[in-house]
Copies of this chain bind each other. A is one copy, B any other.
Amino acid sequence: MSEPEPEAAADPRNLRRADFVVLRALPTRWSDDDTYGHVNNVVHYSLFDTAVNGWLIEASGVDIRSLAAVGLVVETSCRYFSELRFPEVVTAGLALQRLGTSSVAYRLALFGAGEQPAAVGRFVHVYVDRSTRRTVPIPQAIRTTLALLG
């Protein structure tokens, strides 16, 4: 919200799977569908959360939950372009939007059957000391992993 997003403002609907360095398959669940028979808007954030943290854990080989610094979510957003529905397997695309000293912003897209994204979002982690909750630099293990995002 607070930063310019030129390429997204261009039109995030034009993003394709090939625009994302990391792609992860995330199956939907029966209870994801709400009273309108489609995946509830809340679930998209659960998929974002899962894509980012699942990738960090696997790509770093480190249990990020046991580090002295943990990533707290300080901002998220999503634009929804088309409906998803159980039992669809969603493909989440993950890219680096901005890397700072203590924070990292990811661009995320969720793809259903089609070529166009069903949703595009943003997810920002700020690293804090687990105990004091004070902002600290991104841990080296995480920073090394983020370099894989180019």
Q: Which residues of A contact B (CB under 8 A)?
A: 1-2, 5, 8-9, 26-27, 29-31, 33-37, 40-43, 45-47, 49-50, 53-54, 57-58, 65, 70, 72-80, 83, 86-87, 122, 133
> Which residue of B has the minimal Cβ distance to A120?
B1
> Given A37-B35, A42-B31, A45-B41 in contact, is the A75-B70 Cβ separation under 8 Å?
no
A8 CA to B29 CA, complexed, in Å: 27
Determine the chain B residues whose CB is within 8 A of the CB of A31 once the complex forms. 34, 40, 42-43, 46, 49-50
| Interface of chain A, main secondary structure | mixed
Q: Quick check: B54 and A30 within 8 Å, CB to CB?
A: yes
> Given A58-B87, A80-B74 in contact, is the A42-B34 Cβ separation under 8 Å?
no
